[in-house]
Amino acid sequence: MGAVHGVYLKYVGLSAISYACYAYATTYGIRLTSTNGGDVEHLSPSLLPFIVAAISGYSAILNASIAGLFKLERGMTLIGKDRTSGKIPWWSYLLFFPFHLPNVVFTYIHTEVVKTQR
């Protein structure tokens, strides 16, 4: 397991970046705007910053949790990984996309770099 000691730091970094996006979206992005000329009862937030904040917050918590579980060497069953085949079910990719998407991208980039070095 020599080469994977620092792999959990990738998830720590993803969590930190996600939290920074969350903090920015909640501080500067989510503004309440009046829809009827100032009536306080009908205030609505802008949808895009709300979505960014929700996804970023979820990603920060998820990747921090996975970093901790990775360090503890626990939790593979939580993402649905089969113990014998190593396969991950489709629902895991959907539910845990802030974890899986960077992994797919990093794996693709790493594979391409290795191909060009041969």
Residue 27 makes CB contacts below 8 A (sequence gap 6+) with none
Q: What is the pLDDT of residue 37?
A: 57
Q: What is the pLDDT of residue 45?
A: 60
- The percentage of the chain sitting over the pLDDT mark of 70, rounded to a whole number, equals 81
What is the H or E stretch that residue 33 is in?
A: strand 32-34
Reported as a single tens digit per residue, the pLDDT across 11-43 is 999 999 999 999 998 888 766 555 555 555 544
75: pLDDT confidence band, cut at 50, 70 and 90? confident
Domain boundaries, the chain: 2-117
